[in-house]
């Protein structure tokens, strides 16, 4: 969306939500291109929206972003429980969190710092927060990131390829242990309600069973696969399961609820549940491993470094063109943009007719149905 042009002198950049490899690559290219090509001042907003709420920001210069391309995480910090519309400000006498809409405070801080626009790097939650700022007249350019690869209207997000590679390396290691000990080994991966990470990593690692949220599983079908392999002399089974997977007619396993967070449900533990059920039904020795945050950490692979830089460079082009309130996306191998409001609060799930699922079935990978 184009708006009336005004002279842009200073922009802010924030990284919101969960961390992922490639964030520093975006910060680097945005800062360098903004300073050297557009002559802008760049302000780093600390800890995502929390920095806007608490007025924690600092200038970013060329030296500040030197040698960070290969570094994982984010030099600005991040937060996934700081929603200006619903910000936790304390607890009542019963211990329940109290919330307040502090958007007015954010608008004041943006004005006080003289920010003409904000580059917001994050997933659907961050874009939901960005959409709120847009409604208050703040110019925003979005950059998509998530290891879950579940943002709408983009073919891929940076962080995903690194997470897949990390998960595959872990699956490969567990594969050898499964073979040595003749066990059913279950590995739980991240992804929330989307199965992209588990599907890609499971296929790349040659998992015998891949369970994703989009295809509710039948535990008896999974057990039959394990027993069939045992009868054929394959005395082990490797299972990749998404944290959001669920049995037919059942529910997702919730690890905990963080009431102060904009996304309070924390999934986790399906691997332990599945392990107990398989062991009881098949009498095969079964073990469960939760990869957890190891999937989000570490240096980005080359693919994510380049992708993050492409996204960051496109974001600065949008700033230069005054194409505010849009998010950079990758479509058909080219960077383009769509309105932030079209991706806010949504998730891109794996289609049931996705070619990868058909390919998985063709090589006898059990999808649990």
CA 204 to chain centre: 20
Whole-number Å distance between alpha carbons of 9 and 176 = 56
Q: Which of 347, 203, 208, 171 is nearest to 267 (CA)?
A: 347
Cα-based torsion angle of the residue sequence 334, 338, 343, 344 in order, rounded to the nearest 10 degrees: 140
Whole-number Å distance between alpha carbons of 222 and 244 = 17
**pTM greater than 0.85 (yes/no):** yes
What DSSP string describes 135-196? HTT--EEEEEB-TT---TT-S--BTHHHHHHHHHHHHHHHHHHHHHHT-EEEEEE--TT--H
Whole-number Å distance between alpha carbons of 214 and 135 = 33
Q: Pull the structure tokens for residue 58.
A: 């600092």
DSSP reduced 3-state for 336:
strand
Q: Pull the structure tokens for residue 10.
A: 């200073």
List strand residue ranges (DSSP E) for the chain, in order: 10-15, 41-45, 57-60, 87-91, 97-100, 117-122, 140-144, 184-189, 209-211, 237-242, 254-257, 265-267, 286-290, 326-331, 334-339
Please state whether beta strands 286-290 and 265-267 pair in parallel, antiparallel, or not at all (unpaired). unpaired
The residues annotated as belonging to the active site are 148
Cα-based torsion angle of the residue sequence 125, 126, 132, 134 in order, rounded to the nearest 10 degrees: -140
Supply the pLDDT for residue 262: 66
Supply the pLDDT for residue 5: 62
Any idea how long the chain is? 369
Whole-number Å distance between alpha carbons of 10 and 8 = 6
pLDDT in tens, the chain (369 residues): 444 567 899 999 999 988 999 999 999 999 999 999 999 999 999 999 999 999 999 999 999 999 999 999 999 999 888 889 988 888 888 888 888 999 999 999 999 999 999 999 999 889 999 999 999 999 999 999 999 999 999 999 999 999 999 999 999 999 988 888 888 999 999 999 999 999 999 999 999 999 999 999 999 999 999 999 988 878 889 999 999 999 999 998 887 887 767 677 778 899 999 999 999 999 999 999 999 999 999 999 999 999 999 999 999 999 999 999 999 999 999 999 999 999 988 899 999 999 999 999 999 999 999
Whole-number Å distance between alpha carbons of 329 and 157 = 8
CB under 8 Å to 107, separation ≥6 — which residues? 133, 136, 137, 138
User: Are 73 and 19 within 8 A, CB to CB?
Assistant: yes
What are the b/e assignments for 298-318, b being 16+ CB within 10 Å?
ebbbebbbebbbbbbbbbbbb
Whole-number Å distance between alpha carbons of 189 and 201 = 9
Please state whether beta strands 237-242 and 184-189 pair in parallel, antiparallel, or not at all (unpaired). parallel
Domains by residue range for the chain, with CATH: 10-158+300-342 (3.40.50.450), 162-296 (3.40.50.460)
DSSP reduced 3-state for 209:
strand
């Amino acid at each position: 969306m184009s708006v009336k042009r005004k002279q842009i002198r200073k922009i802010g950049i924030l990284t919101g939500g969960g961390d992922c490899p490639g964030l520093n690559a975006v910060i680097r290219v945005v800062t360098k291109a903004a300073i050297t090509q557009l002559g802008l001042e760049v302000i780093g907003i600390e800890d995502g929206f929390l920095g806007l709420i608490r007025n924690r920001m600092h200038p970013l210069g060329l030296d500040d972003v030197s040698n960070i391309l290969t570094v994982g995480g984010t030099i600005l910090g991040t937060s996934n429980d700081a929603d200006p519309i619903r910000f936790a400000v304390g607890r009542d006498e019963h211990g329940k969190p109290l919330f307040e809409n502090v958007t007015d405070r954010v608008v004041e801080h943006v004005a006080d710092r003289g920010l003409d626009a904000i580059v917001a790097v994050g997933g659907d939650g961050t874009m939901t927060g960005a959409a709120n700022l847009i409604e208050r007249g703040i110019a925003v350019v979005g950059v998509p990131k998530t290891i879950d690869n579940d943002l709408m209207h983009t073919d891929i997000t940076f962080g995903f390829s690194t997470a897949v590679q990390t998960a595959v390396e872990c699956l490969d290691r567990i594969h050898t242990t499964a073979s040595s000990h003749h066990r059913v080994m279950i590995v739980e991966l991240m992804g929330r309600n989307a199965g992209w990470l588990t599907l890609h990593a499971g296929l790349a690692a040659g998992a015998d069973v891949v369970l994703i949220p989009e295809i509710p599983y039948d535990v008896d079908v999974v057990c039959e696969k394990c027993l069939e392999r045992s009868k054929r002399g394959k005395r082990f089974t490797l299972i990749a399961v998404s944290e959001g997977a669920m049995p037919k007619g059942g529910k997702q396993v919730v690890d905990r609820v963080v009431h102060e967070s904009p996304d309070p449900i924390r999934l986790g533990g399906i691997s332990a549940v599945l392990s107990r059920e398989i062991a009881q039904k098949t009498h095969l020795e079964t073990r469960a491993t939760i990869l957890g945050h190891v999937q989000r950490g570490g240096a980005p692979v080359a693919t994510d470094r380049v992708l993050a830089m492409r996204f960051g460079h496109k974001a600065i082009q949008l700033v230069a063109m005054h194409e505010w309130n849009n998010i950079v996306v990758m479509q058909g191998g080219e960077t383009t943009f769509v309105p932030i409001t079209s991706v806010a609060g949504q998730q891109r799930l794996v289609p049931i007719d996705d070619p990868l699922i058909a390919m998985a079935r063709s090589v006898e990978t059990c999808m649990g149905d």
